[in-house]
Structure 1
């Protein structure tokens, strides 16, 4: 019931064309409008292009590095300020409890 139905082997592929012998002495003619093929072009960098790519990569690394360092510095400063606030509150509460 759920098995796939495959076509019979004789209808799966078209029948091969019969081989014919050509006995004419005329050379085959190339088509007048051949279909253009799209060849893949390799990227060729000039020395200036290599320098530009290297400079762009260096700039990207420096920008990303500075952003990450500034974020780390912001987290560190926030942590230190929270710790200082905790110490000050602890001293205030201790002083408040002892002078009562």
Structure 2
């Protein structure tokens, strides 16, 4: 009951999946240093070099994006607050309209 069973296909497809055997990993030994002189490895330069004006432009652009996103979020919050206030006013008006006929 708890042993897995391999399903058998009634019609074979002809596609045979190869069985993958894991080979043992061989450790590679480091080669000894040679006596010849190789040139020193060249250090990679950074991909982007910004001038001071370019850096100011990037900082200014980032600040502008932050300000625009902040303004959009504040306006959405204000819209939600105005909607909640108008719904509250409508609820008070409806309650007074329902309760007033009894008192007249």
**TM-score, normalised relative to structure 2:** 0.57
Q: Which has the higher helix share?
A: 1
Q: Structure 1 stretches of 5 or more lacking a match?
A: 7-38
Q: Work out which of the residue numbers 68, 71, 74 in structure 1 matches 2:73.
A: 68
Deviation at 1:41, TM superposition (A): 6.0
Deviation at 1:98, TM superposition (A): 2.3
C-alpha separation in 2, matches of 1:5 and 1:54: 54
Between structure 1 and structure 2, the one with the greater Rg is: 1
Which structure 1 residue ranges, 4+ long, deviate > 4 Å from structure 2? none
Q: Structure 2 stretches of 5 or more lacking a match?
A: 1-16, 22-43
Give the alignment's Cα RMSD to 1 decimal. 3.0
Q: Work out which of the residue numbers 19, 24, 30 in structure 2 matches 1:4.
A: 19
What is the count of residue pairs matched by the alignment? 69
Deviations 1:47-96 (A, max 9, x none): 00100000000000000000000000000000001001100110111102
